[in-house]
Amino acid sequence: MLESFLQNLINALQWGSFYALIALGYTLVYGVLTLINFAHGDIFMVGAYIAFFAASFALTTLGLSGWAALALTIPITMILTAMVGVTLERIAYRPLRRKGANRLYVVITALMCGLILEHSNLAILGASRKAFPTLIDLKIYHIGGVTITNLNIAVILVTSLVFIMLHKIVTKTRVGMAMRAISYDKFAVPLMGIPLDNIIVITFILGSGLAGLAGLMFAMSYPVLEPYMGALIGWKAFIAAVVGGIGDIRGAFLGGFLLGAVEIMVVAFFPSTLRDLIAFTVLLVILTLRPTGLFGIAKTTKI
Amino acid sequence: MLRRYSVHLILPSLGGLLVYSAYEELLGLYTLSVLMFMGVNIILSSSLNLVNGYMGEFSCGHAGFMCVGAYVSSLLGVWLFAKDRVFGAPFLDPDYAIYAFPFIILIGGIAAAIAGLLVAIPSYKTRGDYLAIITIAANYIIISSIENIGSIGGSRGFMGMKRVIGSMEDIADLPWMPIWVFIFTVGTIWVLRRYVSSTFGKGVSAICQDEVAAEIMSVNTNKMKTISFMLSSGLAGIGGGLFAYIIGYVNPGSFTILKSTEVLVMVYLGGMGSLSGSVLSAILFTFLLELLRPLGIFKWVIIPLMLVIMMQFRPEGIMGKRELGDIFPRLKRFYRFK
């Protein structure tokens, strides 16, 4: 009993890591811009595909060994995915922001950009699934009936490290201070000499880079890629961010793990088709009881 | 004279023309089905416009309610009037199908309205982005629970509705589906028009402007929200029921978040808070989908791209917040639609 619980806990931590990484991207952008970047799930998908091409290139064309290919793939994936995110911001969101358009129009634009990414991928690369090449050999450790792979450990460790780093960036550095300042008052911040657009670009670089990292790790753990993989995971990660209280980094991290744990536990004890049903019902109950999420703070509004 | 009766004249003659051409098979099945989908899309977009446009909430789970309506009305219709592998022999004489059909669709709508409570009750406390999540979650919950009911086909879907239509056509050989789609479409627009121009509608737009201020001004916001959400989802259920009977087959996969996005596109293309905009954009959108069909998957790159471009240059949609009569004031002399 204890063994199966521990085994499920490890699975939940790994599964929750992906949600947490993507949710961090959602929450970063939301915290700064109060914009739900609905294209983020699809940026994750693009990240996975970029990782696929980078890894295949490094393995076959350059003929590198697994570890060297991985070392090359990680920065390439993160940089290219970050560029995709920044491009979206430059082309689609910034002109709208300059015009002072209603927030809703930006949300619609984001939703549509997600659809464009998804379907242009489908149109260019075709509907066939891609198999991700193996970069590093899977090592399986047995610790008293519980099996752990090196990939499990890597995913959980990397996610935790990223979270700690991000938390430090947001709370300790000047860039992080500027980010928090923008979320308080978007109009006063440029008057204080803070370059608003640069800070927003940095936010998108961070968020999309993390999505790229998540895409790479996801592709390594579940090596089948398809154009719609980002949609469902993206929506769920968004839900994780909201459950944690969107705009709060700790909330996104914990929300991701919470959603992962709920899903894995449901699969462990119920038929697996009930996974979405129970996960979303839990979400509905949490939001009905705590309308601003676990870490969210209710804002007072003046009339 | 003309102003008073023009709508009463135009609508029946338009409907009559449609039914006549369907009866004489002047249009061909393809054109006819496109026209019927246009009707369903009009119902969906105008009902979503009540929540997203007039009330100013961001609901993106409309397809879920459509799914409830589609399933309830098809199950009911097949159980009552058709021989089926799930339900066995028809419960009632199939001859009655002709009279019961509108009620079956309406019951589907009522069931969808009750499902709308799934969103309406959390909306008392939850607002804005958080409410948007709840609507997404509601969509997923509905789809996922239907997928898990194995006895009605689960994710494989459910069929048999063609037999109900067939038994209706045995009694009187008329094109029943175009007739009912037309009647329900006009009915939906009429109900919504009445609703938004009533005192309830004023309360709804007060919520859109400022919810707290509306509450202080003694608008019962909870009641307004409940009624609006239930009306909107109920009408979506009616649309879903018609959709199911047109195709003759339902499966949960056709009511996913992608379908909701499609309806959202229609609402924002037409303009929030404009019923005639919704009607116009639903017609335009259906037409565009058929026009771009030869492009295959590129269709779904071009349509979002068009919307992105539109958001940059005309974010308020085709009609903005105005109705047809506000754009062409002279038209007001010729019609009155209340």
ipTM over 0.85: no
Shortest CB distance from A112 goes to which of B212, B296, B304? B304
Beta-carbon separation of A277 and B137 below 8 A: no
Q: Distance between CA atoms of B316 and B163, rounded to whole angstroms?
A: 44
Say whether A123 and B213 touch across the interface (CB within 8 A): no
pLDDT in tens, A104-140: 788 888 888 998 998 899 888 887 888 888 878 788 8
C-alpha to C-alpha distances, B333 to B1, B2, B320, B329, nearest whole angstrom: 10, 8, 22, 8
On chain A, the residues whose CB falls within 8 A of the CB of B121 are 288
- The residue of chain B nearest to residue A30, with distances taken between CA atoms, is B129
Query: Which pLDDT does position A159 carry in this prediction?
Result: 92
Read off the pLDDT band of A300 (50, 70, 90).
Answer: low
Residues of B in contact with A36 (CB under 8 A): 129, 132
Q: Give B147's contacts in chain A (Cβ within 8 Å).
A: 273
The overall pTM is greater than 0.90: no
pLDDT surpassing 90 at residue B137: no
The pLDDT of B187-192, averaged and rounded, is 92
End-to-end CA distance of chain A: 56
More confident site: A299 or B178: B178
CB contact A111 to B (< 8 Å): yes
Q: Does A277 contact B at CB distance below 8 Å?
A: yes
Of the partner residues B132, B148, B312, the one whose CB lies closest to the CB of residue A277: B148
CB contact under 8 A, B311 and A115: no
Per-residue pLDDT band at B160 (split at 50, 70, 90): confident
Q: Do A281 and B315 touch (CB under 8 A)?
A: no
Contacts of residue B264 in chain A, CB cutoff 8 Å?
A: 108, 111
Task: Choose the mutation target among A115, A272, A281 for the interface with B, i.e. most B CBs under 10 Å.
Answer: A115
CATH code assigned to A8-289: 1.10.3470
Report the percent of chain A where pLDDT is more than 90.
Answer: 28
Q: Each residue of B255-288: b (16+ CB within 10 Å) or e?
A: bbbebbbbbbbbbbbbbbbbbbbbbbbbbbbbeb
Q: Is B108 helix (H, G, I), strand (E, B) or coil?
A: helix
Q: Quick check: A303 pLDDT over 60?
A: no
The predicted structure's pLDDT at residue B16: 83
pLDDT in tens, A210-230: 999 999 999 988 888 888 888
Q: What is the CA radius of gyration of chain B?
A: 20
pLDDT at B2 over 70: no
Fold for the domain defined by B2-333: ABC transporter involved in vitamin B12 uptake, BtuC (1.10.3470)
At residue B26, the 3 state secondary structure works out as coil
Task: State yes or no: pLDDT of A74 exceeds 70.
Answer: yes
Tokens of B171: 């009694």
Which of A109, A273, A287 has the CB atom closest to B134's CB atom? A287
For position B336, what pLDDT does the model report? 66
Q: Measure the CA–CA gap between A190 and A196, rounded to whole angstroms.
A: 6
Residue A95 has pLDDT above 70, yes or no: yes
Q: Mean pLDDT, to the nearest integer, of A18-46?
A: 89
Measured distance CA(B143)–CA(B67) in Å, rounded: 7
Read off the pLDDT band of A291 (50, 70, 90).
confident
Q: Number of residue pairs across A and B with CB atoms under 8 Å?
A: 118
More confident residue, A300 or B156: B156
Residue B288, pLDDT above cutoff 60: yes
Contacts of residue B247, Cβ cutoff 8 Å, sequence gap at least 6: none
pLDDT at A201 exceeding the cut of 90: yes
Q: Which pairs with CB-CB distance under 8 Å and at least 24 residues apart come from A232-235? A: A232/A41, A233/A18, A233/A19, A233/A22, A233/A41, A233/A44, A234/A22, A234/A38, A234/A40, A234/A41, A234/A42, A234/A44, A234/A45, A234/A114, A235/A41, A235/B136, A235/B140, A235/B257
Query: How much is the pLDDT for A105?
Result: 82
- pLDDT of residue B337 exceeding 70: no
B121, B140, B315: residue with CB nearest A102: B315
Average pLDDT of B293-315? 83
- Residue A260 predicted with pLDDT over 80: yes
**Nearest residue of B to residue A127, measured between CA atoms:** B297
* Distance from C-alpha of B220 to C-alpha of B199, rounded to nearest angstrom: 12
**Residue A75, pLDDT score:** 93
DSSP β-bridge partners for residue A31: none
Tell if the CB–CB gap between B210 and A287 is shorter than 8 Å: no
With CA atoms as reference, the chain A residue closest to B301 would be: A116
Collapsing DSSP states into helix, strand and coil, what is residue A195?
A: coil
Cβ contact B308–A246 (<8 Å): no
pLDDT, position A134: 82
C-alpha–C-alpha distance, residues B64 and B240, integer Å: 9
Q: Looking at beta carbons, which residues of chain B come within 8 Å of A30? A: 129
pLDDT tens column, B241-278: 999 999 988 888 889 888 888 898 888 888 888 888 89
Choose among B291, B173, B191, B292: nearest CA to B239. Answer: B191
Whole-number average pLDDT of chain B: 85
- Give the whole-number percent of chain B exceeding pLDDT 90: 24
Determine phi and psi for B249, rounding to 5 degrees. -160, 135
In this predicted structure, the answer to whether residue A83 has a pLDDT above a threshold of 90 is: yes
- The 10s digit of each residue's pLDDT in B7-43 is 777 888 888 888 888 777 777 788 888 989 999 999 9
The chain A residue lying nearest B260, using CA atoms, is A111
- Rounded-to-integer distance, Cα B46 and Cα B67, Å: 17
Structure tokens belonging to residue B44: 């969906």
Cα-Cα end-to-end distance for chain B: 16
Q: Does A242 touch chain B (CB under 8 A)?
A: yes
CA B64 to chain CA centroid, Å, is 12
Chain B CB contacts of A97 under 8 Å are none
Please tell me what DSSP assigns to residue B295.
Answer: G
In terms of Cα–Cα distance, which of A47, A49, A51, A25 is closest to A38?
A: A25
Contact A292/B at CB under 8 A: yes
- pLDDT (average), residues B282-311: 85
Task: For chain B, give the percent of residues with pLDDT over 70.
Answer: 97
A98 → chain B, closest CA residue:
B312
State residue B65's pLDDT score: 94
Task: List the 42-101 stretch of A: residues with Cβ below 8 A of B.
Answer: 92, 95-96, 101
Give the separation between CA B59 and CA B50, rounded to whole angstroms.
Answer: 10
Please check whether residue A50 is in contact with residue A208, taking contact to mean a CB–CB distance below 8 angstroms. Answer: no
Average pLDDT over residues B313-330: 77
> Is residue A137 exposed (0-12), middle (13-18) or buried (19+ Cβ within 10 Å)?
exposed
Calculate mean pLDDT across residues B317-338: 73
Mean pLDDT of chain A, nearest integer: 86
**Nearest residue of chain B to residue A237 (CA atoms):** B133
The per-residue pLDDT for B242 is 93
Tokens at residue A168, please? Answer: 């430090």
Confidence of residue A17 (pLDDT cuts 50, 70, 90): very high
pLDDT of the residue at B317: 78
Element housing B156 (H / E): none
Residues of B in contact with A288 (CB under 8 A): 121-122, 125-126, 134
